[in-house]
Amino acid sequence: MHRLSTADTTTWLVAHDPLEVVGWDDPLVEQLGHAPRSAYVETYWLPVIGPASTWAMRRLTILLDAAPEGYSLPLAELGRELGLGAGTGRSSPVVRTLARIVAFGLATPRGDALAIRRMLAPLTCRQVRSLPEPLAIQHDRERAAGHEDSARRITVEVPSSLLCDTAPTSQVTGAVGDARAGDAGGTAVRSGKPAAAPPAPLPATATGSVSRSGNHQPVGGVSR
């Protein structure tokens, strides 16, 4: 699905006031994700998308639970309910908040309606590394503790591109330290945007393997 730029999103939102809101059906994320009113979202998603976007997701999904087929919501009314004021221009707080949840893939324009996710996926590795160091470590520990139970509950194959296992604590700490030291990737690490998929391992060849010393060894034989 093509994702609009922030400028195009704000233009679309202003042009579609009152906003028609519908659910974004995604069975995989709904099975593996976290409700907008969950402790996971409050603890880990909030530092990534900010408090206004977190409360917007809560409010929009509460209304969606009451009207599963969708509903109409004036932007000024939503802004006042969130404490963002009644302004509805392109630079108004409520429009910028909605544009932010679109930018993070939590909502998307679909025709003349805004489709909202009912559940939020687990954070990507890059997003975890953008958290304050204590939260990143806590997130890894909780994921590790719940990994076995989660594996028993999952009944569908999960694409590795969608759900990214968080890095070990030592890697998270190192990434945070590198970012604070001003390394070349520091800005990207703190951005909270999804990281590129890691390169695939080299496939094993049919003619042999490479020893730790770097010498090629034939199949079935061991160098002496």
pLDDT at res. 162: 42
Element (H, E) at 119: none
**How many structural domains compose the chain?**
2
| 68 pLDDT above the threshold of 70 | yes
What does residue 24 show for φ and ψ, rounded to 5 degrees? Answer: -100, 105
Q: Using one digit for the tens of pLDDT, what is the confidence trace for 184-195? A: 343 333 445 444
Report the distance separating Cα 50 and Cα 46, nearest Å: 5
In a domain, 154, yes or no: yes
In a domain, 150, yes or no: yes
Residues 44 and 92 sit within 8 Å (Cβ to Cβ): no
Same domain, 16 and 104: yes
Q: Are strands 107-110 and 216-218 parallel, antiparallel or unpaired?
A: unpaired
Same domain, 73 and 133: no
Range of the domain at 54: 6-117
Same domain, 39 and 60: yes
Q: Are strands 19-24 and 113-117 parallel, antiparallel or unpaired?
A: parallel
In a domain, 71, yes or no: yes
Query: How many Cα atoms occupy the beta-carbon half-sphere of 91 within 13 Å?
Result: 0
In a domain, 210, yes or no: no
Q: Evaluate if pTM is beyond 0.75.
A: no
Same domain, 164 and 83: no
